[in-house]
């Protein structure tokens, strides 16, 4: 017995069946649209990676920055042209500042957000596709303090480019995936705590 005859045998008219089918299709379409509307990018690398960036700040010369991620522990190490190193603990929201010249370190709670990090409740809008440093990435934009921030990230969460109001601030020059040594994300044993300004407070 066909499905239509079964429905008729149960006393359900085909008109009602058609209506039911239309409603079901509408629900599927609306659900799919909602899922797409809530789609947001992965903003933290899901595997270890070593990225070298060109960083251009307003009225300042371009500098080279090296960023390494220990993905399993959500740790990020940022080396700025050999002058200083910052280690971000994304889970604890703590940043450790290393100063090689004096072999000192300082830990700061509530690490400030960087320009490439949207506010926690920001809704990012998906844009086009691009290729940066030989890797495909997707553009995502949001507005903050009247400025439009656009990042281009890979599917596994590596940020390749940051553009603010049409000006490229950060752009990857090379990306190398591979295991990172855990010691790179720890304070070296021969470093000592730095004093807070005027010798007051905790390091």
Assigned domain for 14 exists: no
- Tell whether 19 is covered by a domain: no
- Token readout for 106 is 């300082």
User: What three-state secondary structure class fits 122?
Assistant: coil
pLDDT in tens, 57-78: 888 888 999 999 999 999 999 9
pLDDT reading at 4 higher than 90: no
- 158: in domain: yes
Q: Which residue has the higher pLDDT, 81 or 72?
A: 72
**pLDDT, tens only, 12-60:** 454 444 443 444 443 333 444 333 445 889 999 999 999 999 999 888 8
- On the question of pLDDT at 186 being above 90, the answer is yes
pLDDT score of 23 = 42
Q: How far is CA 54 from CA 10, 24, 81, in A?
A: 70, 51, 10
Q: Are 141 and 148 contacting, i.e. CB atoms less than 8 angstroms apart?
A: yes
* Mean pLDDT, all residues of the chain: 82
CATH of the domain at 163: 2.50.20.10
Residue 26 forms part of a structural domain: no
Instruction: Indicate whether 157 belongs to any domain.
Output: yes
Q: What is the pTM of this model?
A: 0.76
Distance CA 87, CA 78 (A): 6
Nearest by Cα to 75 from 176, 193, 181, 150: 181
Q: How many CB atoms lie within 10 A of CB 133?
A: 18
Residue 81: CB partners within 8 Å, gap ≥ 6?
Answer: 63, 64, 65
- 115-119, 177-181, 183-187: range with lowest mean pLDDT: 115-119
Write b or e for each residue in 92-131: b if 16 or more Cβ atoms lie within 10 A of its Cβ, otherwise e.
Answer: eeebbebeeeeebbbbeeebeeeebbbeeeeebeeeeeee
Average pLDDT over residues 174-197: 93
Q: Is residue 127 part of a domain?
A: yes
Instruction: Give the pLDDT score at 179.
Output: 98
* Per-residue model confidence (pLDDT) at position 201: 44
Domain of 84 in residue numbering reads as 49-199
**What value does the mean pLDDT take over residues 122-136?**
96
- Quick one: average pLDDT of 132-158? 96
Answer yes or no: is pLDDT of 171 > 80: yes
pLDDT in tens, 92-112: 989 999 999 999 999 999 877
- Tell me whether residue 168 is in a domain: yes
Domain membership of residue 140 (yes or no) is: yes
Task: Give how far Cα 80 sits from Cα of 2, 63, 102, Å.
Answer: 72, 8, 16
Contact 104, 192 (CB under 8 A): yes
- Residue 8 or residue 162, greater confidence: 162
Alpha-carbon distance 101 to 113, whole Å?
Answer: 26
Structural domains of the chain, count:
1
């Amino acid at each position: 017995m066909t499905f239509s005859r079964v429905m008729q045998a149960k006393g359900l008219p085909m008109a009602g069946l058609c209506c039911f089918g239309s409603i079901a299709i509408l629900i599927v379409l609306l659900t799919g649209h909602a899922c797409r509307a809530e789609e947001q990018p992965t903003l933290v690398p899901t595997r270890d990676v070593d990225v070298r960036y060109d960083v251009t700040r307003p009225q300042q010369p371009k500098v080279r920055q090296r960023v390494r991620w220990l993905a399993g522990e959500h740790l990020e190490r940022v080396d700025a042209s050999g002058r200083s190193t910052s280690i971000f603990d994304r889970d604890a929201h703590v940043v450790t500042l290393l100063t090689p010249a004096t072999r000192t370190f300082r830990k700061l709670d509530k690490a400030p957000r960087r320009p490439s990090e949207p506010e926690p409740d920001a809704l990012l809008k998906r844009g086009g596709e691009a290729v940066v440093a030989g890797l495909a990435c997707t553009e995502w934009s949001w507005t903050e303090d009247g400025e439009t921030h656009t990042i281009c990230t890979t599917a596994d969460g590596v940020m390749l480019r940051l553009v603010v109001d049409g000006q490229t601030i950060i752009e990857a020059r090379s990306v190398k995936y591979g295991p990172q040594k855990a010691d790179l994300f720890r304070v070296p044993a021969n470093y000592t705590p730095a004093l807070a300004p005027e010798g007051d407070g905790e390091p």
